[in-house]
């Protein structure tokens, strides 16, 4: 399943996944430095969908707050 995700790095709310009109919003504590926020997004989505992190992949938007993510359920 492919999803549109908006990421909020460095958030005190994180790790948290919320749904809005445009897709999912993922709040992560990690800052967007050296891919740490991307790792946080993968971990948060894996926990949200109850799948292992290896089943979550960022397809597009590695350097953006808007990402396209694939989750294998």
CB burial of 14-51 (b: ≥16 within 10 Å; e: otherwise) equals bbbbeeeeeebbbbbbbebeeeebbebbbbbbbebbee
Query: What are the tens digits of pLDDT across the range 21-46?
Result: 888 999 999 999 999 999 999 999 99
Q: Domains of the chain (ranges plus CATH)?
A: 2-71 (3.30.1200.10)
The predicted model scores a pTM of 0.93
Report d(CA 9, CA 30) in Å as an integer.
Answer: 6
What mean pLDDT do residues 6-35 have? 94
Q: pLDDT band for 15, please (50, 70, 90 cuts).
A: very high
Percentage of the residues of the chain whose pLDDT score is greater than 90: 92
The pLDDT of residue 14 is above 90: no
């Amino acid at each position: 399943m492919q999803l549109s995700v908006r990421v909020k790095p460095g958030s005190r709310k994180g790790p948290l996944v919320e749904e809005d009109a445009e897709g999912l919003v993922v709040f992560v504590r990690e800052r967007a430095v050296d891919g740490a926020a991307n790792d946080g997004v993968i971990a948060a989505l894996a926990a949200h969908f109850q799948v292992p992190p290896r089943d979550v992949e960022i397809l597009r938007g590695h350097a953006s707050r808007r990402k396209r993510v694939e989750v294998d359920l």
